[in-house]
Amino acid sequence: MTKLQKQAGFTLIELIMVIVILGVLSAYALPRFADLGGEARVSSIQAAAGAVRSAANIAHAQWLADGSPTVPATVSLESTTINIVGSGYPEGVTTAGGIVTAAQLSTADYTIAAAAGVVTVTLGTCNFTYTDTSGAVDTSGITTTGC
């Protein structure tokens, strides 16, 4: 009787087929993960806009709870003094006591500029604005196609 020999490894054709299959799978999957940075920037600027909107509303609610004192007034949020303008919303400045302080935004993360009560927060090519006279946050500068 002849002994059957066991195969000791993979043949060259089997190895080539595995490499081809892995190449096809990676070519399909790679574009799906190529632009995660843009999506992360969009999410970050949307989160910052939400923080500004929340901080403005919390400060306004505190101002109302304090009896709507005449302005200029201040409210205390987490032991931080926030300056309030005539409409009862945080002051639209980048200095201490404004909406940037209330929302705890960092200039290390965003480009922040203010002029005439309007604060513009920018990340990449996306931005939003905060207006202190109304407490409104305009997010029309945030696109979903990347920042």
Residue 12 lies in a domain: no
Q: Is 73 exposed, middle or buried (0-12, 13-18, 19+ CB in 10 A)?
A: middle
What pLDDT, on a 0 to 100 scale, did the predictor assign at position 121? 95
- Say what the pLDDT of residue 45 is: 93
Residues 4-12: contacts with CB under 8 Å, at least 24 apart: none
Return the C-alpha torsion angle 87, 91, 92, 98, nearest 10. -150
**Domain interval for residue 73:** 37-138
In a domain, 25, yes or no: no
Residue numbers in the chain where pLDDT is lower than 70:
1-7, 35
Note whether residue 57 is domain-resident. Answer: yes
- Predicted confidence at residue 17, as pLDDT, reads 94
Q: Is residue 11 a part of any domain in this protein?
A: no
Residue 17 domain-assigned (yes or no): no
Is 6 domain-assigned?
no
Structural domain includes residue 127? yes
Instruction: Map tokens 């302080």 to a residue.
Output: 101
Q: How many domains does the chain have?
A: 1
Query: CA 68, CA 5: separation in Å to the nearest integer?
Result: 93
Residue 48 included in any domain? yes
| Predicted pLDDT of residue 51 | 95
Residue 41: predicted pLDDT: 87
